[in-house]
Chains A and B, each alone.
Chain A
Amino acid sequence: MIQALTLILLCQLAGETLARWLGLPVPGPVLGMGLMVALLAASDRVAAAVVPVGQGILRHLSLLFVPAGVGVVGHVDRLGAEAAWLMVAIVISTVLAIAAGALTFKLVAWATGAGDEQRSVDD
């Protein structure tokens, strides 16, 4: 487990360094995710160690948003008089974005023959 955590932190560190160094608009951890995908694909030993630990961290991904979420409570007043309008914009736009993303995916999957794989056996 400690090897897996070390690898995960090393990927994040490499990602942060790379993002800063090259001035990329992508956050370090996202680059770290890309690096980790490459490592997982390259080595079965890495995969055997990292997969269970990664799944363990992700099982409670929701928890990690709680501290920042609590910060929102204190900043609601910063939304000021526009709070209600911002909420309306966020709710409608999020609904539209999810619908647009999902329906476009479905349409293109159908058109390219990468259709629904609901019944595939490797789930």
Chain B
Amino acid sequence: MTDFAEIWSYLARGPLVWLTLTLVAYVAADALSAAFGRAPLANPVLIAVILLGLTLWGTGTPYAVYFEGAQFVHFLLGPATVALAVPLYLQGARLKRAVLPVLAGLCAGSFVAVVSALWIARALGVAPETLAALAPKSTTAPVAIGIAESLGGSPTLAAVLVLITGMVGAIVATPLLNALGVRDWRARGLATGTAAHGIGTARALQVHPQAGAFAGIGMGLNAILTALLAPMVLRAFL
């Protein structure tokens, strides 16, 4: 009989184990999130990431090996972005009636996201090349990476800051918007998608279909707006 260590070292080299564990961690995280009544802090992305991070650390597995398996899930981000057309289409009539508030909310959210992050980070003494990676943090990862690179920031750092922003946004959105007394699902969704891209949109979809559709719009439009805005604002800060 082959001993377990050998079987493990055979399996750990292929994509199957890590793909399966990614799904297992997510299913567990999602169940936990549901058990906590979808409480903002019980964010499924955050829980699954912690579970898998501990597993990689415990088994001494490099991220590159993990990603061999996880890439199949990661790839679906593209098709899922295209699929955001569905809530948009279903909410089309409602969206048409709200063009002005959407554009105003988008501009305000996008501008505040870039300016406040750079202003606070600079005041705290963060280095200029790090600021370049921070500027596009509210936009979706592929855009943020492109923007950071063109500004002379590290693309990897930009991706990390984007993901942290998404998780922070997904966690703070519900209690914050409740505290502000914003009950309009359109406003809640748009603001969350603008400030916290896809992870915020995932949270919005979990909460309400209207919020999800407007979050998708916020995310999509902010990808364009940040690409225009971030270089200008960063120049003002350097």
Q: Which residues of A contact B (CB under 8 A)?
A: 5, 8-9, 11-12, 15, 25-30, 32-37, 39-41, 47, 50-51, 53-55, 57-76, 78-79, 82, 85-109, 112, 114, 116-118, 120, 123
Contacts and interface: CB of A to CB of B under 8 A. Distances in A.
Contacts of B127: 82
B172 A95 contact: yes
Contacts, number: 353
B35 interface: no
Interface string B183-206: 111111011101110110111011
9 tightest A-B CB contacts, nearest first: A101-B109, A101-B191, A105-B105, A54-B86, A36-B85, A67-B70, A25-B227, A29-B81, A97-B113
A66 B140 contact: no
Interface residues of B, number: 120
A76 to B, nearest CB: 8
A62 B76 contact: no
Contacts of A26: 143, 223-224, 227
Interface of B: 22-23, 25-26, 30, 43-46, 48-49, 52-53, 56-57, 63, 66-67, 70-71, 73-74, 76-90, 92, 94, 97-98, 100-102, 104-113, 116-117, 120-121, 124-127, 130, 134, 137-138, 140-143, 146-147, 154, 156-157, 159-161, 163-169, 172-173, 176-177, 180, 182-188, 190-192, 194-196, 198-199, 201-203, 205-206, 209-210, 212, 216, 218, 220, 223-224, 227-228
B160 A25 contact: no
A90 B25 CA distance: 26
